Amino acid sequence: MTTQPKIILVAGANGQLGQLMLTALQDRAARNGEALLVRALVRQGRPVPAPTPTLVYEAIDYTNPADLARVSEGAFAVVCCLLGVEDVIIGVQSGLLKSALDAGARRFIPSDFSGDFTKLPEGAHRNFDWRRQFHRIAAQMIAKSGAGMDFTSIYQGGFTELLASGWVLFDYKKLQVPYFGAADAKMEFTTYADTAEYTAAVALDDAPTPAALYIAGARLSPQTAAALGKRITGADFALKHVMQVWALRLVIGIMKRVKPDRKNPMPLWVVMQYGYCVALGVMSPARIDNDRYPGMQWTSVDDTVRTAFIAAGHQIHVPQEK
C-alpha cells in the first residue's frame, strides 16, 4: 500500500527564508523516513523549476480564491514566508488561511518571524500592528470554522545575519555598540537557516503545537554584545547611548510625517521602530523553546561578528590559548 505524502504549502517560496524552508522540510522528512510533498507557492509570471518527487512549484495569483483552493487541497500545513505591506500581511494571509481551513489543514504558520510583538503598545511598530490585526482576524476565522487548526507563530527575534550590517548592535567602523533605552535590554538572534529548520519541524509535527514558540541562537543585550565583541575580536567596543526612548519616538514620528512611504515594507522610520520596540523592553520572551525538537545544532553569532569585523578593515587580536 502506498503511503500518502504529507503535503506542506510554503507561500513566498522564492524568498531567502522560503528557499531555506523548502530544503529544511525535505531534509527533515527524509531523515524521519516520512513521505512528503512540498508545494512551493510563487507569484504568477515567475519561472518555476521542474517538479521533483518531493517538491512542486506552483505559480499562483494570491488574490484568486480558485488558485488558493487548488493548491491547498490535501494540505497538512501552510507555512507563510511572504513579505509585504498591509495587503499581503492581512489580505493575502487571510485568503491563504481561508483556503487552508476549507481544505482541512492541520496547521497554519503565519509570516511573523520576529521578536515577540504581542505585548507592544498599539502604534509602536506599523508592521507589527498589521500582524496583530491578522492574528485577531485569524482567531475569528478559526473559531467560526469550528476546525481544530493550530495557528502557531514562531518568534526567533532578529535574524543573526543582521548583526553583520553595522547598524544592529555593532558599529564595526566606530567600534561601538549603539543602543536606545537600557543597556541590559535583551534581544534574541537566530540565523535564517536555524529558523527554517525549526519551522520545518513545527510544520511536520503530528502533535498539537501551541500558539507561540520562541527560539534563539543567541540572546544579547548591548552590555553582553560589547563583551562578546571583545572576546571575539580583541577590540574594545564602547557602549553608545544614542538617545532616550521618548526622543527616538519623536524622531520616528517626524520622519513618518515627512515621508510616510506607505507602500514600502521597510521605510527608514519603520526600521527605526524596531530599535524603539526593543528599547521598550517587552519583546524578549520568558521562555525559549529550543529543546522542543531534539537534535538541532544552534548557530552562535561569533562567526557573523568576526567576519563583519574583518570586512570593516580590522584585524583580530585575540590571545591564543596555550
In whole angstroms, how far apart are CA 39 and each of 16, 32, 101, 198? 16, 19, 17, 18
127 backbone dihedrals φ, ψ, rounded to 5°: -70, -35
pLDDT score recorded for residue 47: 84
The three-class DSSP label of residue 102 is helix
Centre a 10 Å sphere on the Cβ of residue 317 and count the other Cβ atoms it contains: 8
Cβ contacts of 225 within 8 Å, gap of 6 or more: 169, 170, 177, 237
Residues 6+ apart with CB under 8 A from 61: 43, 44, 67
List the Cα angle 177/122/129 in 5-degree steps: 85
Asked if the model's pLDDT at residue 86 lies above 90, the reply is: yes
3-state secondary structure of 177: strand
Cα separation, 88 vs 104, whole angstroms: 22
Radius of gyration of the CA atoms of the chain, in A: 21
321 pLDDT band (50/70/90 cuts)?
low
Q: Report pLDDT for 1.
A: 45
The pTM score is 0.96
Q: How confident is the model at residue 322 (pLDDT cuts 50, 70, 90)?
A: very low
Is the predicted pLDDT of residue 310 greater than 80, yes or no? Answer: yes
CA proximity to 273, closest of 135, 121, 82? 121
Three cell numbers, residue 268: 527608514
pLDDT in tens, 99-128: 999 999 999 999 999 999 999 999 999 999
Summarised one tens digit per residue, pLDDT across range 219-270 is 999 999 999 999 999 999 999 999 999 999 999 999 999 999 989 999 999 9
**CB atoms closer than 10 angstroms to residue 304:** 22
Count the neighbouring beta carbons within 10 Å of the beta carbon of residue 271.
13
Average pLDDT, the chain: 95
Quickly name the fold that domain 6-155+191-215 has: Rossmann fold (3.40.50)
Q: What is the pLDDT of residue 236?
A: 97
pLDDT in tens, 171-227: 999 999 999 999 999 999 999 999 999 999 999 999 999 999 999 999 999 999 999
At CA 59, angle to CA 57 and CA 65, rounded to 5?
120
- Antiparallel, parallel or unpaired: β 187-190 and 218-220: antiparallel
Q: What 8-state DSSP symbol labels residue 169?
A: S
Over the stretch 151-168, which tens digit does the pLDDT of each residue have? Answer: 999 999 999 999 999 999
Q: Do residues 204 and 280 touch, judged by C-beta distance below 8 A?
A: no
